[in-house]
C-alpha cells in the first residue's frame, strides 16, 4: 500500500504540475555497529512475502566515510518538499470545486443523517460524511487513544558540501532509530538527521538529545559543518505500527478517522485519502481490513498491556510533590509544577517576570502535564496533548485549554 501511494503522489505531482522537488531515491536500512543482521534477514523475508521482490541485500550503503556493513536496498522510494506539495494539492482541489476552510474549530462532532458539527464560534455544519484527521482524533475519548502513543522525535539540519553524500534515504534498526536524508539548501546540501525519540511529556532533556544526534552525525559524516537547524516533532505510534484508517469504532457509520501514522505521514496520509474515498463511496478497497481501526492483533494486545501500565504510571504524578514549593524560585522564561494542597499548578514565568498559572491537569483524561523547556510547551505524558506556556491547547486529543 505504501508503494502504491508513492506512485499516486508521483502521478499527482505530474498531472497537477506541482513543483515540490519530487525525486525517486533508493532507501537503505542497516543495523547499528556490532549488532547481528538477523533483523535484516527477517525483514527481507517479510518484504519478499509481501511481494516486494526487488528489495535486496547490498554489501554496504553508498556512503563514502560510513561503512554501514550489509544493508537492505529498497529501490524507488521518494522524497519531496511536503509544504510545496500540500500547496499544490490544495490548489488542485480548489480548481475542481473543493473548498478549504481554515481556523475553524470543531467543538462537537456527531454522525447520523446528516452528520453534524458545531464550531467554536457557534456555527453548524451538516455533512453526509465526516473524516476526523487531527493527528490524534478529538472525537473519541478512550478506544483509539488506548491503542497508540505520542512520541517526540528530534531532528538536526547540518550543511555538507554539495554532492558529498549520495542522495538516498538511510535509516537504521536502533530503537529509537536514526533517519537520514538530504535537502538542497542554497549552494550546499543539507543533511537532515533525526532520532532520539521519547514519549511525549516523559523527558525534558532536548539539548542532550540534539548533542547526541550531532555526535552520531559527525562520527559518520566527517564533512558535516555547523548545525544550521534543529527542531522536534510529534509522532503518533500505533502498537502494531499500522495507521488506523476507516470507520470510527462504535460511532455512526458516516464518521471516519485517520490517525497513528507512525512517522510515515506522507504515505499513510495518502493511503487515508485513497481508502477513505472508497469507504465513503461504498467501493471495495483491498486495504480496508489492514487499516481497520477496530482490528485486534496479538502483537498489538501485548503492546497494549505494556502501554497501559505506562499510562497508569503517569497518574502517580497526582500524589508526588511539586517540582518547587515556591513560585518565586521560577526563573524568567522557565516553568515548574507547583503543589498547592491537593492541587497541581502549571506555573510559567514570562521573560518580563510575570507569572502565569493554570491547572496542571490535562483536560483530556486528567494526567499531570510536564514542562518541555525546549519547545516551551506543557506536554501531557498520557496521550500527547500539548499546550502553550499560558495553557492554550496546541495539539489534541485535548480540545480545551488548561483551566485557569
Answer yes or no whether residue 349 interacts with ligand FES by CB under 6 A: no
Answer yes or no whether residue 260 interacts with ligand FES by CB under 6 A: no
Answer yes or no whether residue 360 interacts with ligand FES by CB under 6 A: no
Strand partners, 247: 256
Closest CA to 135 of 218, 203, 236: 236
Answer yes or no whether residue 364 interacts with ligand FES by CB under 6 A: yes
Shortest Cβ distance from residue 399 to ligand FES (Å)?
10
For ligand FES, the closer CB: 172 or 379 = 379
Pairing state between β 130-132 and 56-58: unpaired
Choice from 169, 255, 362, 402 touching ligand FES (CB under 6 A): 362
56 phi and psi angles, rounded to 5 deg? -145, 165
Shortest Cβ distance from residue 385 to ligand FES (Å)?
4
Look up residue 163 and give its three cell numbers. 554532492
Shortest Cβ distance from residue 258 to ligand FES (Å)?
19
Stretch that binds ligand FES, among 75-83, 91-99, 115-123, 362-370 (CB under 6 A): 362-370
Pairing state between β 23-30 and 169-172: parallel
- Residue 113: Cβ within 10 Å count: 10
- Residue 313: Cβ within 10 Å count: 12
Cis peptide before 114 (omega within 30 of 0): yes
For ligand FES, the closer CB: 25 or 365 = 365
Look up residue 118 and give its three cell numbers. 458545531
Stretch that binds ligand FES, among 58-66, 151-159, 211-219, 383-391 (CB under 6 A): 383-391
Rg (alpha carbons) of the chain, rounded to whole number? 23
Stretch that binds ligand FES, among 94-102, 184-192, 247-255, 357-365 (CB under 6 A): 357-365
Answer yes or no whether residue 344 interacts with ligand FES by CB under 6 A: no
Shortest Cβ distance from residue 318 to ligand FES (Å)?
12
Stretch that binds ligand FES, among 82-90, 153-161, 202-210, 358-366 (CB under 6 A): 358-366
Answer yes or no whether residue 385 interacts with ligand FES by CB under 6 A: yes
Question: What is the rounded distance in angstroms from the CA atom of residue 26 to the CA atom of residue 245?
Answer: 27
The residue whose grid cell reads 458516516 is: 254
Residue-wise DSSP of 320-362: SPPSBS-GGGPPTTEEEEEEETTEEEEEEE-TTS-EEEEE-B-
Choice from 358, 365, 393, 402 touching ligand FES (CB under 6 A): 365
With contacts defined by CB under 6 A, how many residues of the chain interact with ligand FES?
Answer: 12
Shortest Cβ distance from residue 401 to ligand FES (Å)?
13
List alpha helices for 20-173, DSSP H.
38-49, 82-95
Question: What is the rounded distance in angstroms from the CA atom of residue 89 to the CA atom of residue 270?
Answer: 11
Stretch that binds ligand FES, among 124-132, 250-258, 318-326, 381-389 (CB under 6 A): 381-389
Instruction: Classify each residue of 145-161 as buried b or exposed e, where b means 16 or more C-beta atoms within 10 Å of its C-beta.
Output: bebbbbbbbbbbbbbbe
Answer yes or no whether residue 13 interacts with ligand FES by CB under 6 A: no
375 and 360 in contact (C-beta within 8 Å)? no
Answer yes or no whether residue 389 interacts with ligand FES by CB under 6 A: no
Shortest Cβ distance from residue 361 to ligand FES (Å)?
9
Question: What is the rounded distance in angstroms from the CA atom of residue 362 to the CA atom of residue 342?
Answer: 15
- Residue 255: Cβ within 10 Å count: 23
Answer yes or no whether residue 368 interacts with ligand FES by CB under 6 A: no
For ligand FES, the closer CB: 231 or 311 = 311
Stretch that binds ligand FES, among 8-16, 60-68, 238-246, 378-386 (CB under 6 A): 378-386
The number of C-alpha atoms within 13 Å of 3 and in the hemisphere containing its C-beta is 12
Choice from 158, 335, 382, 402 touching ligand FES (CB under 6 A): 382
Stretch that binds ligand FES, among 35-43, 109-117, 283-291, 379-387 (CB under 6 A): 379-387
* Interface residues toward ligand FES, by CB under 6 A: 362, 364-367, 380, 382-385, 397-398
Amino acid at each position: 500500500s505504501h508503494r502504491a501511494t508513492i506512485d499516486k503522489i508521483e502521478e499527482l505531482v505530474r498531472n497537477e504540475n506541482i513543483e515540490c522537488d519530487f525525486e525517486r531515491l533508493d532507501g537503505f536500512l542497516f543495523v547499528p555497529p556490532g549488532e547481528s543482521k538477523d533483523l535484516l534477514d527477517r525483514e527481507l523475508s517479510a518484504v519478499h512475502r509481501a511481494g516486494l521482490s526487488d528489495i535486496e541485500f547490498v554489501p554496504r550503503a553508498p556512503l563514502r566515510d560510513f561503512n554501514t556493513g550489509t544493508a537492505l536496498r529498497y529501490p524507488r522510494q521518494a522524497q519531496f518538499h511536503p509544504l510545496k506539495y500540500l500547496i499544490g494539492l490544495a490548489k488542485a482541489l480548489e480548481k475542481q470545486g473543493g473548498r478549504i476552510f481554515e481556523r475553524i474549530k470543531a467543538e462537537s462532532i456527531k454522525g447520523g443523517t446528516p452528520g453534524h458539527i458545531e464550531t467554536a464560534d457557534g456555527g453548524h455544519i451538516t455533512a453526509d460524511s465526516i473524516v476526523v484527521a487531527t493527528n490524534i482524533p478529538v472525537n473519541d475519548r478512550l478506544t483509539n487513544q488506548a491503542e497508540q502513543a505520542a512520541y517526540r522525535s528530534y531532528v538536526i539540519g547540518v550543511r555538507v558540501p554539495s554532492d558529498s553524500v549520495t542522495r538516498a534515504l538511510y535509516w537504521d534498526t536502533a530503537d529509537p532509530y536514526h533517519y537520514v536524508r538530504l535537502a538542497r539548501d542554497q549552494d550546499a546540501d543539507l543533511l537532515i538527521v533525526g532520532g532520539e525519540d521519547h514519549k511525549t511529556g516523559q523527558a525534558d532533556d532536548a539539548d542532550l538529545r540534539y548533542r547526541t544526534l550531532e555526535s552520531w552525525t559527525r562520527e559518520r559524516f566527517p564533512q558535516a559543518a555547523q548545525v544550521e537547524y534543529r527542531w522536534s516533532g510529534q509522532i503518533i505510534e500505533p502498537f502494531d505500527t499500522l495507521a488506523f484508517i476507516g470507520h470510527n469504532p462504535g460511532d455512526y457509520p458516516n464518521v471516519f478517522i485517520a490517525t497513528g501514522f507512525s512517522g510515515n505521514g506522507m504515505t499513510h496520509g495518502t493511503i487515508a485519502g485513497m481508502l477513505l474515498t472508497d469507504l465513503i463511496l461504498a467501493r471495495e478497497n483491498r486495504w480496508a481490513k489492514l487499516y481497520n481501526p477496530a482490528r485486534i492483533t496479538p502483537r498489538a494486545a501485548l503492546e497494549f498491556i505494556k502501554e497501559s501500565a505506562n499510562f497508569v504510571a503517569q497518574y502517580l504524578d497526582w500524589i508526588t510533590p511539586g517540582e518547587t514549593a515556591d513560585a518565586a524560585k521560577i526563573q524568567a522564561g522557565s516553568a515548574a509544577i507547583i503543589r498547592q494542597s491537593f492541587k497541581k499548578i502549571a506555573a510559567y514565568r514570562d521573560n518580563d517576570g510575570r507569572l502565569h498559572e493554570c491547572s496542571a491537569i490535562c483536560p483530556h483524561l486528567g494526567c499531570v502535564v510536564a514542562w518541555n523547556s525546549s519547545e516551551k510547551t506543557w506536554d501531557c505524558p498520557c496521550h500527547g496533548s500539548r499546550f502553550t506556556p499560558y495553557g492554550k491547547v496546541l495539539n489534541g486529543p485535548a480540545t480545551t485549554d488548561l483551566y485557569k
